């Protein structure tokens, strides 16, 4: 795989997670999580963000009553370009629409970086949520972030920081993981992605896959966020 192909496409992968909570007739709290490649919603080409997303899914699923659904954001590149970049066919995961976000009680958005910011596919999707912004239908709901970059200096923090502006305008409550994931977050002998902002990985030239530490942090993020979303819904 050519290095530039992996860099470009790993930058064009978005994942969103969607948490929906229902109150049953006997008032038992039953949260659901819906996935996109974050609702888990993702845009994946070579699978780096997708692999993190699966671990986040596993972690979230350990919280009692959680159900998961996966979504992906629409592709914005033409098939001809995708073919030249060597992108594999898209999966049959359903494509999310903006209005479906209003059904969620919380989100985890995941994407690769492009020059220190979220991939354009994910940004284009958020740009389509103007109607939700106008009515502030997402205000007060929690959201987390996770990401993939091509290198250690490729945006493991700036990608999250620049994404926060999207949450702020919607009134969404950002839920970072801090240092709650344990000893792995303090590892300095091994190359690892992720930060207090959320789980992360390095794609490198495309051959590197998420490490065990990165996957552990991703699992923790899913579990931690699902617990926070459940508490917020339960106190409403």
Q: Which residues contact 209 (CB under 8 A, 6 or more apart)?
A: 47, 48, 51, 201
Query: How many other CB atoms sit within 10 Å of the CB of residue 234?
Result: 11
Report pLDDT digits (tens) over 153-200.
889 999 999 999 999 999 999 999 999 999 999 999 999 999 999 999
Res 105 pLDDT > 90? no
pLDDT in tens, 182-194: 999 999 999 999 9
Q: What is the pLDDT of residue 193?
A: 94
Q: What is the pLDDT of residues 17-35, one digit of tens each?
A: 444 333 332 222 233 344 3
User: Rounded distance, CA 177 to CA 198, Å?
Assistant: 6
CATH code of 95's domain = 3.40.50.360
β 142-149/106-114 pair status: parallel
**Could you give the CA distance from residue 52 to residue 210 in angstroms, rounded to a whole number?**
7
Number of domains in the chain: 1
Mapping DSSP onto H, E and C, the string for 152-181 reads CCCCCCHHHHHHHHHHHHHCCEECCCCCCC
Q: The pTM is what?
A: 0.81
Domain of 180? 3-235
């Amino acid at each position: 795989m050519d290095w530039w192909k992996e860099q470009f496409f790993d930058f064009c992968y978005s994942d969103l997670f969607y948490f929906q909570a229902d109150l049953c007739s006997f008032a038992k709290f039953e949260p659901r999580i819906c996935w996109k490649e974050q609702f888990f919603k993702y845009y994946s080409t070579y699978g780096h963000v997708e692999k993190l997303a699966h671990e986040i899914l596993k972690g979230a699923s350990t919280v009692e009553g959680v159900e998961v659904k996966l979504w992906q954001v629409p592709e914005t590149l033409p098939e001809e370009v995708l073919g030249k970049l060597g992108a594999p066919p898209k999966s049959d995961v359903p494509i999310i629409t903006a209005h479906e976000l209003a059904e969620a009680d919380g989100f985890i958005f995941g994407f690769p970086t492009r020059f220190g910011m979220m991939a354009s596919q994910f940004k284009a999707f958020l740009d389509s949520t103007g109607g939700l912004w106008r009515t502030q239908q997402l205000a007060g709901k929690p959201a987390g972030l996770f990401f993939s970059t091509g290198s250690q200096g490729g945006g493991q923090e700036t990608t999250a920081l620049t994404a926060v502006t999207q949450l702020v305008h919607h009134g969404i409550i950002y839920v970072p993981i801090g240092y709650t994931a344990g000893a792995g977050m303090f590892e300095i002998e091994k190359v690892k992605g992720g930060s207090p902002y959320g789980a992360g990985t390095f794609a490198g030239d495309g051959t590197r896959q998420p490490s065990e530490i990165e996957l552990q942090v991703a699992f923790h993020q899913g579990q931690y966020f699902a617990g926070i979303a459940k508490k917020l819904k339960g106190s409403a």
